[in-house]
Amino acid sequence: MSDNQNSLRAGTRGPTLLEDFLLMEKITHFDHERIPERIVHARGSAAHGYFQAYESLTGVTRAAFLADPKLKTPVFARFSTVAGGSGSVDLPRDVRGFAVKFYTTEGNFDLVGNNIPVFFIQDAIKFPDLIHAVKMEPDRGYPQAASAHDTFWDFISLMPEALHTVMWAMSDRAIPRSLRMMEGFGVHTFRLVNAAGESTFVKFHWRPVIGTSAVLWDEAVKICGADQDYHRRDLYEAIAKGHFPEFELGLQIFDQATADGLEFDALDPTKLVPEEVVPLQMVGKMTLDRNPDNFFAETEQVAFCPSHVVPGIDFSDDPLLQGRLHSYLDTQLSRLGGPNFHQIPINQPKCPFANNQRDGHMQMAVPKGRVNYEPNSLDPAAPRESPERGFQTFAAPVTGAKARVRSESFADHYSQPRMFYRSVTPQERKHMAQALTFELGKVETLAIRQRVLGHLDMIAPELGAAVAKALGMPGEAQVIHPAMAPRDVALSPAVRLYGKYAPTLQGRRVGLLLGPGFDGTKAKELEAELKEAGAMVTRIGLQAGGAGDSDGKRWPVDGALAGTPSVLFEAVAILAGATGDAMLAADPDAVGFAMDAKRHLKVIALDGVDSLADRADLGGVVGVVEVGEFVALAKHGKVWKREK
């Protein structure tokens, strides 16, 4: 290969060409390397629901599911980790997949994205290299579902285009509290096309109605030990209890002139369009209200393909997107056994459909008649093309010589990572430095650590200095000579994880630890107040058989203390009588429950547990309150003032 960095395309910013046999061969081999588990996004959880537009968008797109606000379009959404296998834990530090299949009246539209708006690479030809680098090292078969190892950081240190996504992956975005509290992004620039054939560019966003939330790294580690299925269980139980996850669909719509005026290339998937430049328009809402009936038949067999679009939605010349149009289809052929995977019920369109496809592995339909071709004169009712209703590719002009080349407009790899780092809250910046210290501390090769430190200095000198100091490597960063010097661009507060949503307990999990002799009246009032605020309350007892209140009444509990640590909740309350307080103070699990809640910055309510409070050193701690103050304070999430 004369060039293993760039796909063959028409012009420096044009579409990728099908004749690029090197790209096809490389990706085809990669797509078939694992059978039958997904190569990436193997660990997934999913739910059924519906999408409903707020108003008609016929001015910008002819897509029917966006035209009628009265129409409820069925959807199936799958959330996933990227690097781990199907049996890996739910809470590694990782990008999360956010894929939605719309069963529209015109066929299926698959919006296949992530919880991070940018991606590691600019060209699809590098995807096998990226995943090979982040997966288990091939000679030893570990680590599983982790990027903290030499091969990943070696690749990253040699591919500065990946640095923007790395900053997001090292932020709290990569360890979400719940799949229900996670943003989603289409990543690429797509096109909307209206009935008149007019095109605009679009970026797709999903915003959780109840807001975003994440865990601390120490919480993530302990949750993985306490409940490897934490995210899957949380999604399933929330839907089963009627706490339906809701996500608003937002669009950033902009024309060619706006794209030309950006300080970066709108076709570059390692860049985001700041909401301060192109505002987000909320156009509809997705509600997930039904769990799958069978995990394998639905969650495992669902097949998402970015090439599954409907009239009114089209592609841009983003070179990563262009490669994905081939890759996902090719993967399904391998994983689901052949070309008829669309006949599996979870993949079938819910509208009438017809084609001339016949035979093939796992053909489950029984096509009738002698005609399976077009044009034909033997069967007037046979499927035929429809120039009026069918999909029409937008007639974008294409010029340029065939070449393996990267546009110079893709060359700035540091300005947006710098913007992201400086736009987020101080807590998020600190957590990034801690995450980078942890990850690089696992890297054995000194030269790799030195290269990464050099890149961090380019992004933000204070970040590079903090990580170097924590690693015991001050002054050892390699000097980086970038292809394009970084610029200080306008900050974008919209990229922050914290502080964007109104305080709420809606959909949040709250733990209620009940020790023997607790005040039943206070517990009842607290539960009622929490449920009125929309919280999901879990009762915890010293034993699974229940907990007795001060009146001798036995309260059923949802879990025993030994198996229900405080890391599973966003806020906790501990109530007990004198005898129960003594028992809790003598129980290492109870002391650990309280100490972890303090360490993880949770709001803690105490009633009748003075001895436990002394053992857990809760005296005078900010955010440790009486029961009556608990709900109002817990709505604000973590107590950041407590973090050192």
Cα dihedral across residues 258, 264, 269, 274: positive or negative: negative
Under DSSP, is residue 94 helix (H, G, I), strand (E, B) or coil? coil
Tokens, residue 170: 């090292």
Tokens, residue 576: 């007990």
291 is catalytic: no
Q: Are 284 and 100 in contact (CB under 8 A)?
A: no
Exposure on the CB side of residue 595, measured as CA atoms within 13 A: 13
Q: Are 317 and 302 in contact (CB under 8 A)?
A: no
Q: Are 608 and 575 in contact (CB under 8 A)?
A: yes
Tokens, residue 138: 């091939």
461-471 helix and 426-441 helix, angle to the nearest 10 degrees: 40
Beta bridge partners of 47: 77
The radius of gyration of the chain's CA atoms, rounded to the nearest angstrom, is 26
Start-end of H helices in 391-501:
415-423, 426-441, 446-459, 461-471
Phi, psi (degrees; rounded to nearest 5) at 398:
-130, 125
Tokens, residue 53: 């537009």
Residue 360 falls in which region: left (phi positive, over 0), alpha (psi -120 to 50) or beta = left
Distance from C-alpha of 596 to C-alpha of 561, rounded to nearest angstrom? 13
CA distances from 107 to 74, 155, 157, 172, 386 (A): 11, 39, 42, 36, 14
Which one of the listed residues 6, 108, 114, 340 is annotated catalytic?
114
Which one of the listed residues 6, 41, 347, 455 is annotated catalytic?
41
413 is catalytic: no
Distance from C-alpha of 51 to C-alpha of 181, rounded to nearest angstrom? 18
- How far does the chain reach from its first CA to its final CA, in angstroms? 52
CA distances from 365 to 36, 178, 359, 483 (A): 23, 39, 9, 55
Question: Looking at the annotation, which residues are catalytic?
Answer: 41, 114
